[in-house]
Amino acid sequence: MVATISARDGLTMAERVAKSVDPAAVEAMHRDEAARANEERIKVLRHIVFRNAARGRCDIEGLRNEADAARLLVSVGDQADGFAVLGILRVAIDNRWRQVVKAGIRYFGEHPVAARIQELWDITLTTRHSAV
């Protein structure tokens, strides 16, 4: 392919196009696309992980600090109540309670939901706000 050079400015068409592109605008567009992709992935993971989570339990919905969440996690874990554990994890992820989330992941061990919880946790940490 032969590049034609304009007599007007001495630039090829490709050089003129490259010169007219705003790198900051392109970077902003890529950041926006990545943020939208993250938000969509968070929605999907929250649906997959928490669709069976215990809801409407006052002891879970009323959690206000990480220490109380950890105590409740131990209690429901001892009762083998996986749905309550998921409910606690939902609150813990929303509040970014790291120790509770890590303990919840350990509770599920090799179960596939543990990997999804870990992915959700990692993505949530990279966003500025909760995905509630």
Tens digit of each residue's pLDDT (9 = 90 or more) over 85-124: 999 999 999 999 999 999 999 999 999 999 999 999 999 9
Tell me whether residue 47 is in a domain: yes
Tell me whether residue 1 is in a domain: no
> Does residue 61 surpass a pLDDT of 70?
yes
Tell me whether residue 3 is in a domain: no
Specify the higher pLDDT residue, 20 or 94. Answer: 94
Domain limits for position 55: 20-126
* Overall pTM surpassing 0.85 (yes/no): no
Tell me whether residue 13 is in a domain: no
Count of structural domains, the chain: 1
Tokens 């929303």 -> residue: 94
Tell me whether residue 4 is in a domain: no
Q: Which residues pair with 12 in a beta bridge?
A: 5
Contact between 76 and 95 (Cβ < 8 Å): no
pLDDT tier at 131, thresholds 50, 70, 90? very low
| CA 92/CA 69 separation, integer angstroms | 7
Mean pLDDT (whole number) for 52-80: 93
Neighbours of 88 (CB within 10 A): 30
Tell me whether residue 12 is in a domain: no
Tell me whether residue 107 is in a domain: yes
